[in-house]
Structure 1
Amino acid sequence: MIDSRVRASVLASALLCLPTSLYAAPDAAAYTRSIGLREQWQYLTREVAWPAHWTPDGTRFSYRKTVEGGFAFEQVDARTLAKSPAFDPAKMAQGLTVALGYPVDPLRLPFPAFDYSEDGKTIRFQIGEAAWHCGLDGQGCAVEPDQHRPRGFGVVRDLSVPADNRPALSPDGQWQALVEDNQLVLRRPGGKESIHLSRDGSEGDFYDPETLVWSPDSRHIMIYRVRPGYARHVLRVEAAPAGQLQPALRSQLYPKPGDTVDQEQPVLFDVAARREIVIDTALFPNPYALPQPRWRKDGRSVAFDYARRGFQQARVIAVDAETGTPHAAVTENAATFVYADRRYAHDVGGLGDEIIWASERDGWNHLYLIDGRTGRVKTRITHGDWVVRDVVKVDDAKRQIWFAASGMNPGEDPYFRHFYRIDFDGRHLTALTPARADHDIAFSPDMTLYVDTYSRVDLPNIAELHRATDGALVATITKGDDSRLVAAGFRPPEVFTAKGRDGRTDIWGVVVRPRDYDPRKRYPVIENIYAGPHDSFVPKGFWPFGYHSGGDKVIGMQAQADLGFIVVQIDGMGTANRSKAFQDVAWKNLADSGFPDRIAWHRAMAARDPSYDISRVGIYGASAGGQSTLNALLFHGDFYKAGVAYAGCYDNRMDKISWNEQWLGWPVDQSYAAASGVDNAWRLTGKLLMIVGEQDSNVDPASTMQVADALIKANKDFELLVVPGGEHSVGRSTGPIDYVARRQFGFFVRALTGASTPDWNR
């Protein structure tokens, strides 16, 4: 017979292991508090500054910072350090209210940064995807006109839109060049007579005026002749368009993996001789897309960047202006992929004799000085087990490079960005940002000063003005104050590292606990995932409401945690900003998503923390994170028990051409099917909620519906929420009543705790 005291002790221990939701399921008020958390907390900090932007003349710099009730834009005189408003926010809000057609709050202007125009009378900024300009007095607010012909993901021209064919004036002012009836022609300025330079253009093989560039000596022109690719259009029905009863059909130019892209043939013209030189393509076969050509300063050669389709080779091609003979000024080959968005090339002195080139050939992204005539390495400028993240400035006269890097400092988070200066010969490496934090710096146009804005998840932004020659501190500009935010209950996420699948590599993540966290209880775990190979995503800087990358931000994770969960975010292998081998895990392997590293991290966390219940792990993510969420349930259903997948690119053959061919290659092969949530839908275990915007222009929403179709055919249970009129960002709204967030929160309460959720229909 068991002693009553022992029985009571055993019962108490058992109760501690039960889901917390069995004690008290969150009521409607708890959901409302969580959903409104961002709005309640976002304006509680003071003096948290965004990265600075300099005026063109270098006399001032400006930034956005937090103030009572919102944000203010401030400018600083670089000489006197006097501060003043960057513009009149009330007038700016008034001008934008008229232009946008809805009220704009002066303390909540819809852009986080701006740049002054050259004359200082206008500012330019982004609202969503559109470029805008306004006068400093708020007058003339309008979208910047874009006269260029659109291209579907950069590879197929929209031929229904006319190209920008404004005559291109030669540097000497003697000629205008343009395209007439698909042919390249010349005119005298003010004249009407056209002189044909080409005769071989046609509607199916036309000269593109938007690629036309004059040589600096006015003797030559390079232009691309284009054979159009396949103009695939995605069609979407908008079921409930605003202001009308009947549905509307939307069409979008949307090339997909494997589609034929525009074929671009560089053609050189000798203007004086009226001679056309078609350039041999042997050194650049099957280009993915050719960026704009650029002439060297002396006019003796012209260069363009080349990425072979499939992204396993990148080159700078230089073409002799007199003969049209091309040569590979530099070549980068990879057994997996050359990451196109991280390529960097700089012609030293603008002549092409030497090229600063970024390469991962030794397993880490580093800078090399290349002989532009032979393509051979002259000097290895940087080296070590760390990553060059960005080149800020190259000073050809001083033969110095200013760059950002991460992973150089032992014992520090390897994702923190620091800034350095180094000579072309690899000597005199100088650190400019000693603070143990993530840095973002802005140099003055003359490179004499820089503003260093740095932070950590537990350190509000600090902005300092420094002297560029030696890094000396000139003045502290702002120092973020989060005391009111902390008083309201905010706690920075906990940083945690554990070994990955190989038992050696550190995997970094953050942990967010409920504000009423009790270490004696057991909490279900939810992972916020984004595992796109193009970057890393765990927040490294302070701003928890959305400034730094990372999918759903810290406050969104806190809102979910407050309903009785521990919420985490992890960067597993297959993501960027570590070694080449670390990122290469994703090559032709997008189903991996770093899950072996993530699961090892979860297990390490659970071994350290008894409250961390890895028998109940959920996962959520959007876009590529949506794909990873579904794949967690398809391929790791023994570990992940429930998932909310937003706007997922569930089958990479259905998604945009650019992102998918970068990681899965070309031609389309079995690796695409291996990662497909459609082909593998029959594997589903656990509980799934898919959410998609009906008008998603980033990921074809039919991808979601094809998964739904496959799940139905496999007799699987799941939930599906289609938001009428919703875009790719569905679920990222921040208002006090966020239907999509509420659906996610309730789904995890039911799926991971077994508790009921409020009857919202009552």
Structure 2
Amino acid sequence: MRTKALCYLLCLLGMAFGTESASAQVTRADYQRADTILKCSELVYSPAVHPEWIDSSHYFWYKNHEKEGDFFYLVNAENGKKQRAADKKGLAAFFSKKQKQLAESLLKEEERKPDRWRRRDEAPEPVVSPDKKWEAYVKDNNLYLSPVQDEKDKGKQKEEIALTMDGTTNLRYDGGAVIWSPDSRKLATVKVRDVKERRIPLIESSPSSQKQPILQWRDYAKPGDVLPVYLPVLFDVEARKQIVLDVAPYENQFYLNLTGWREDSRAFTFEFNQRGHQRYVIGEVNVADGSIRHLVDEQTKTFIYYYNNYRYDLNDGKELLWISERDGWRHLYLIDGTNGQVKQQVTKGEWVVRHVDHVDEAGRVVYFTASGFNKGEDPYNLHYCRINLDGTGFTDMTPEDGNHHVTFSADRNYFTDVYSRPDLPPVSLLKRTADASPVAELQKCDVSGLQAKGWQIPEVFSAKGRDGKTDIWGNIYRPMNFDASRSYPVVEMIYAGPHDSHVDKDFKPVHHLISKLVELGFIVVSIDGMGTSNRSKAFHDVCWKNLKDAGFPDRIAWMKAAGAKYKYMDLERVGIYGWSAGGQNAMAALLFHNDFYKVAVALCGCHDNRMDKIWWNEQWMGYPIDASYSASSNVDNAYLLKGKLLLINGELDDNVDPASTLQVVSALMKAGKNFEQLYLPGKTHSLGGPFEMHKMHDFFVKNLLNQEPPAWE
């Protein structure tokens, strides 16, 4: 209750100081209010329901924050009946004796199991054959077989059968990739041509363990580096011989993974990502003769975003469900596993499949999330859908206008559906899966208490992009006690990484990286421009070999449209800030668009894509390395800088090489450019702590509000 009282006090302070400080000097009180604004989320009642389904039953429970305190609800999904208790233990009283097991399940703590992630170069355990007669393992870089020992034979010297003798340190067989055929007669793994991976040095300048700095090293492959090569190999266990495979077509690879055997042992499969990410293959190896055929051979002139790939094998591989952008939108295709031809384009239209959740093989139905098919609605809003594998029966199971998150009962007969938007507090529903009909409304979020204190709900805003046709979407955030008669500087929080879309689509009463800055007297915007994901392939392809673009022409057009509508948005005072790829974008604004952006803060930026991790940068900038890398480099283009720039990064950043920022510093110095830098000892890639945020806020106050920030306490 003390927290709630404090929150009320802070919000009242917002009313007291908001208007005055908006036109006068920014004071320490404004900073204190901004620093504690996150606590105002306590005034949000009945937020999104997060259900905890109880084992295989149709019961679930959830915790709800209400004006009177926090309460717990037990819900019967079959009829929507809710029972309320003051604490979790109180829920157990609602169970009958027959439901004792459910009550025990409700009270038990979740067992957390350790991750079983293993580096590919670590020695794995022997892999036992399905018939339990053999175990396969790698020793001295070669592949061996041994009979599985009975209990009585434990401790005796085991028989070893060498299947290979040509393994070396740099050309080894991978025991971690061994897969047995279901009939135990065949064995597959990969032969690895190893390379020594690049390492980057990190200097921990101020360790707690000693006075002197500590030099650390990180494995860190960069674009253009030589990569290891993984090639499939097949063995006939009974004949003790290798079956020769033609693997030459797969030498030029980013990676190759084995993906399992067919149930009848006729073949095993692998997935191959060609270096450069413009070709992706699902191969099937016939064990009878070692021949390889391609079930999928996806090719493009730009890039295949392999992290968004989805594959599901049906009927022992006689059919495959595959995701592809071959028609210009991300959709599902049913592939004939006997010849690799498309049997059916399952989903179709100018919208995208976002994630496949479940495939009902017996019913031949696929459940998935999608976005963009409702005209007039934000095209990024997630909806939960289903469709038959023959392309009929498409159903939007969550038709309400908003971004949806669903959670199913164990038998998938019921689900909760929570939908919201940045401008719509969450509504939590309970629905039946069979017909998507509502069972009950669980909760409806109440933010009236927060609004009464002056809080401004974010605005979802859309405007035409660079082509004058494509809708660009973003959010506008205004300070408490906003005054439309004033003039506000505009600051964009940017992240233009092509691997996703990034503007919030869920309701958030406060935002850790936005709300504090807003309360100091700024309007903050976030926008998804061209070059980001979850729209058409053409929309996404704008980033290809062109990360410096970052959707800036769309972002600027969007802000100009917003400024034309809202005269209080001062587009003569525009700033920008971002982290990581957003740090690269923020600095790029002052290089390539400095007629519009005037002030930038770049945190832990990847300022040259040749300096950053291989998997992310070759995905968008391509391979081999060419002039496009230099064209998008903040280092090579540092001489173009105009405006006020603050660079912030940490010395122990092992996500983005700290040298990337230091090379920018060097280039700016050589070009005689004025800028500021904050190099943080002991900090990693996670920058958002109070010190660096305070420095960023001061930078915008000084350079956009044209005021001297208050002295630090």
After TM superposition, the score normalised by the length of structure 1 is 0.84
Gaps of 5+ in 1: 1-18, 90-118, 124-134, 150-156, 546-552
Query: Which position in structure 2 is the counterpart of 1:528?
Result: 493
Query: Which position in structure 1 is the counterpart of 2:11?
Result: none
CA apart distance, 1:716? 0.7
CA apart distance, 1:243? 4.0
CA apart distance, 1:278? 4.0
After TM superposition, the score normalised by the length of structure 2 is 0.89
Per-residue displacement from partner, 1:623-649 (whole Å, max 9, x unpaired)? Answer: 000000000000111110000011000
Residues 139-154 of structure 1 aligned to structure 2 (within 5 Å): 144-146=114-116, 148-149=118-119
Per-residue displacement from partner, 1:69-115 (whole Å, max 9, x unpaired)? Answer: 998997756558666899979xxxxxxxxxxxxxxxxxxxxxxxxxx
Query: Which position in structure 2 is the counterpart of 1:36?
Result: 36
| 1:685 paired to 2:651 | no
Question: What is the Cα-based RMSD across aligned positions, in Å?
Answer: 2.8
Letter matched to residue 719 of structure 1: E
CA apart distance, 1:263? 0.6
| 1:342 paired to 2:308 | yes
Query: Which position in structure 1 is the counterpart of 2:445?
Result: 480
Letter matched to residue 501 of structure 2: S
Contact 2:177 2:190 in 1 (8 A): yes
Query: Which position in structure 1 is the counterpart of 2:47?
Result: 48
Pick one of 374, 384, 388 that aligns with 2:339. 374
* Change in 2 beyond 3 A, CA 1:649/1:70: farther
Query: Which position in structure 2 is the counterpart of 1:743?
Result: 695
CA distance in 2 between counterparts of 1:367 and 1:390 reads 10
| 1:327 paired to 2:286 | no
Per-residue displacement from partner, 1:21-61 (whole Å, max 9, x unpaired)? Answer: 894121112112112211x2233323323654656646555
Contact 2:231 2:250 in 1 (8 A): no
CA apart distance, 1:242? 2.3
Contact 2:415 2:430 in 1 (8 A): yes
Letter matched to residue 730 of structure 1: L
CA distance in 2 between counterparts of 1:631 and 1:120 reads 57
Residues 330-409 of structure 1 aligned to structure 2 (within 5 Å): 330-349=296-315, 351-409=316-374
Contact 2:43 2:450 in 1 (8 A): yes
CA apart distance, 1:483? 3.3
| 1:516 paired to 2:481 | yes
Tell me the SS of whatever aligns to 1:148. Answer: coil
* Change in 2 beyond 3 A, CA 1:200/1:616: same
Letter matched to residue 42 of structure 2: Y
CA distance in 2 between counterparts of 1:74 and 1:695 reads 45
Query: Which position in structure 2 is the counterpart of 1:558?
Result: 515
* Change in 2 beyond 3 A, CA 1:521/1:87: closer
Residues 20-169 of structure 1 aligned to structure 2 (within 5 Å): 23-38=23-38, 40-49=39-48, 52=51, 54=53, 57=56, 60-61=59-60, 66=65, 78=77, 136=108, 144-146=114-116, 148-149=118-119, 159=121, 162-163=122-123, 165-169=124-128
CA apart distance, 1:170? 1.4
CA apart distance, 1:189? 2.0
Pick one of 646, 652, 658 that aligns with 1:701. 658
Tell me the SS of whatever aligns to 1:216. Answer: coil
Tell me the SS of whatever aligns to 1:293. Answer: strand
CA distance in 1 between counterparts of 2:348 and 2:63 reads 36
Tell me the SS of whatever aligns to 1:753. Answer: coil
Gaps of 5+ in 2: 1-18, 90-101
Contact 1:300 1:320 in 2 (8 A): yes
Query: Which position in structure 2 is the counterpart of 1:177?
Result: 136
Query: Which position in structure 1 is the counterpart of 2:170?
Result: 204
Query: Which position in structure 1 is the counterpart of 2:416?
Result: 451
Return 641-650 or 475-484, whichever deviates more.
475-484
Query: Which position in structure 2 is the counterpart of 1:726?
Result: 683
Pick one of 564, 579, 586 that aligns with 2:536. 579
* Change in 2 beyond 3 A, CA 1:279/1:477: farther
Letter matched to residue 650 of structure 1: H
CA apart distance, 1:753? 2.2
* Change in 2 beyond 3 A, CA 1:696/1:278: farther
Query: Which position in structure 1 is the counterpart of 2:145?
Result: 186
Contact 1:516 1:562 in 2 (8 A): no
| 1:432 paired to 2:397 | yes
Tell me the SS of whatever aligns to 2:514. Answer: helix
Letter matched to residue 467 of structure 2: D
Letter matched to residue 373 of structure 1: T
| 1:301 paired to 2:253 | no
CA distance in 1 between counterparts of 2:356 and 2:363 reads 16
Query: Which position in structure 1 is the counterpart of 2:188?
Result: 222
Query: Which position in structure 1 is the counterpart of 2:204?
Result: 238
Contact 2:73 2:82 in 1 (8 A): no
* Change in 2 beyond 3 A, CA 1:257/1:73: farther
- Number of residues of Structure 1 aligned to a counterpart in Structure 2: 677
CA distance in 1 between counterparts of 2:138 and 2:85 reads 47
Contact 2:503 2:527 in 1 (8 A): yes
Pick one of 528, 533, 539 that aligns with 2:504. 539
CA distance in 2 between counterparts of 1:203 and 1:73 reads 59
CA distance in 2 between counterparts of 1:433 and 1:535 reads 22
CA distance in 1 between counterparts of 2:296 and 2:352 reads 21
CA apart distance, 1:520? 1.6
Query: Which position in structure 2 is the counterpart of 1:4?
Result: none
Contact 1:43 1:68 in 2 (8 A): no
Contact 1:20 1:753 in 2 (8 A): no
Contact 2:367 2:384 in 1 (8 A): yes
CA distance in 2 between counterparts of 1:434 and 1:710 reads 52
CA distance in 1 between counterparts of 2:583 and 2:461 reads 24
Contact 1:633 1:640 in 2 (8 A): yes
Contact 1:369 1:377 in 2 (8 A): yes
Per-residue displacement from partner, 1:181-210 (whole Å, max 9, x unpaired)? Answer: 111112222262222222222211111121
Query: Which position in structure 2 is the counterpart of 1:153?
Result: none
Query: Which position in structure 1 is the counterpart of 2:96?
Result: none
CA distance in 2 between counterparts of 1:48 and 1:169 reads 50
Query: Which position in structure 1 is the counterpart of 2:246?
Result: 280
Query: Which position in structure 2 is the counterpart of 1:658?
Result: 615
Per-residue displacement from partner, 1:479-512 (whole Å, max 9, x unpaired)? Answer: 3333333334332211111100000000111111
Letter matched to residue 534 of structure 2: N
Contact 1:176 1:186 in 2 (8 A): yes
CA distance in 2 between counterparts of 1:652 and 1:464 reads 45
* Change in 2 beyond 3 A, CA 1:58/1:370: farther
